[in-house]
Chains A and B, each alone.
Chain A
Amino acid sequence: MNYTIDFSLVTDNWIVLWRGVVVTLQLWIPAIVLGLTGGFFIAQLRLSKRRLLSAPSLVYVELFRDTPVLIQLIWFFYAFPALIGTQLSPFVAALMALALNTSAYSAELFRGGITSIHRGQMEAAKAIGMSQAQAMRRVILPQVIKRMLPALTNRVIEVAKMSSLASVLSVHELMYQGRLLSATYYRPFEILTAVAFIYFMLIYPGTFLAGRLEKHLARSN
């Protein structure tokens, strides 16, 4: 055992890892924004009384929840040229897979959240003349988000880590850059430790803020 731990490699190559961080953020943030927005609308379809709307959205949710994300990523990259004859860039394919997967998961969160709000809330909103959309935005959604916050935080964390799977499509995000450095210098221990630490530093501030927000929203309890 004459292995000497040497982190100088990490500091020397910080620019490589930094580029990875930028791409990871470019995947993570849009996937969250698109995924949660999409999820909200899919939840509306799931809750529709019309089978024509609720049935396809159920199929959509189950397809994305019940298959591996890794396959979904690869599928979007290879399926599009086969199906419609256009090649997506690895980045776009990865972003699409992450966003759609997130929309399927968060649709279930929203659906559960919306149905858990007492019927009287929607009625009270409508009784003062609000439209369905106004009631949703002003009365239902704020309460749903408060209730969903711990689960939502989990989802946001999941997506950050899931984005590392985009490395299999050669998207130059953090994980890919880390593996590139590992392969080049054959120092996986130092480099992957550093990569894990960077993921932690990206995610932790978010969970910290979510915790604060949860406390803030709890003041009406």
Chain B
Amino acid sequence: MSGPLLEVTGLHKSFEKHHVLKGIDFSVERGERVAIIGGSGSGKSTFLRCLNFMETLSKGTITLDGQRIGTTGSNGTITYPERQLCDVRERLGMVFQQFNLFPHMTVLQNVMEGLVTVKKLSKERARDIAIRELAKVGLAEKHDAWPSRLSGGQQQRVAIARALSMEPEVLLFDEPTSSLDPELVGEVLRVIRDLADEGRTMLLVTHELGFAYHFATKVIFLADGVFHEVGTPDEVLKNPKQAKTQEFLRRFGEFAF
């Protein structure tokens, strides 16, 4: 199939009177890895969450693999049938800043859950897949542990395995290392890097600019609700053209050694 895998046009998002995203056009090709950076409150997480409809769009359209999401009514308003959103979310895996593992399920059950409940696979089949995905994130020995007994890094790796188990076409990472102790960041970033090496399509909202530089095929600097600067990691992170981007990166580099 030709054309972008995911395409966003004219995206606006407001919370009450607060206009967070002010008209975003964006597309992702298969195999692209996009890092989204920006100051806190710039709307980068909101943007990512709009893609799989964790937030409802105030305006704009999203097209997944050529298919426009939502149905337009006779009066022009777009409605999003639940079945369609479930299907979209199944195809766009998401990893959250706070991991959000299901605390009443073991590690293995967490990874099996979507397979059994959503994909309707048999328990045996789901277990095989879950075991494989957990091995991939280096947690083969933690199957029967409760999430509450794991470190933040381990929890996040389980969350990645849970997302992977659904075989998503795109992976969305919403600041996956922001709530981790510094010494645990590496183990999660290594897993994400391994996924990048598999050629997966990924979007990553992050403050880890060094990782973004090595990881991404495209970097987006979001500020004031728009894509302020878009380009290759070298263009945006090493030779930014916009004053705002330069200012942002300078603040990040302030305490570098």
Q: Return chain A residues, CB-CB under 8 Å to B98.
A: 118, 120
Q: When A129-B87, A129-B89 are in contact, do A143 and B100 touch as well, CB less than 8 Å? A: no
**Docked-complex contact A129 and B90, CB < 8 angstroms:** yes
In the assembled complex, B13 has its CB within 8 A of some CB on chain A: no
Q: Return chain B residues, CB-CB under 8 Å to A143.
A: 103-104
In the assembled complex, A183 has its CB within 8 A of some CB on chain B: no
Q: How far is the CB of A189 from chain B (nearest CB, A)?
A: 49
Q: When A128-B162, A130-B114, A146-B104 are in contact, do A220 and B146 touch as well, CB less than 8 Å? A: yes
Chain A interface residue count, Cβ-Cβ cutoff 8 angstroms = 23
The range of chain B's interface size is 20 to 34
Q: Which of B82, B113, B163 is within 8 Å of A132, CB to CB?
A: B82
CB within 8 Å: A-B pair count:
73
Tell which of A61-69, A81-89, A134-142, A167-175 binds the partner: A134-142
In the assembled complex, A121 has its CB within 8 A of some CB on chain B: yes
In the assembled complex, B134 has its CB within 8 A of some CB on chain A: no
In the assembled complex, B72 has its CB within 8 A of some CB on chain A: no
**Docked-complex contact B104 and A123, CB < 8 angstroms:** no
Q: When A138-B117, A143-B103 are in contact, do A127 and B146 touch as well, CB less than 8 Å? A: no
Q: When A220-B146, A221-B148 are in contact, do A127 and B163 touch as well, CB less than 8 Å? A: yes
In the assembled complex, B96 has its CB within 8 A of some CB on chain A: yes
| Least CB separation from A219: chain B residue | B146
What are 21 A-B residue pairs whose CB atoms fall within 8 Å in the complex? A118-B100, A121-B100, A123-B96, A124-B159, A127-B54, A127-B93, A127-B94, A128-B89, A128-B90, A128-B93, A128-B113, A129-B89, A129-B166, A130-B86, A130-B117, A130-B118, A143-B103, A143-B104, A217-B104, A220-B103, A221-B146
9 additional A-B residue pairs with CB within 8 Å, beyond A129-B118, A139-B102: A118-B100, A120-B96, A121-B100, A126-B85, A128-B114, A128-B118, A128-B163, A130-B86, A220-B147
Using CB atoms and an 8 Å cutoff, list the residues of chain B in contact with chain A. 52, 54, 82-83, 85-87, 89-90, 93-94, 96, 98, 100-106, 113-114, 117-119, 146-148, 159, 162-163, 166
The 5 lowest CB-CB distance pairs between A and B, nearest first, are A129-B90, A128-B114, A124-B100, A120-B100, A127-B94
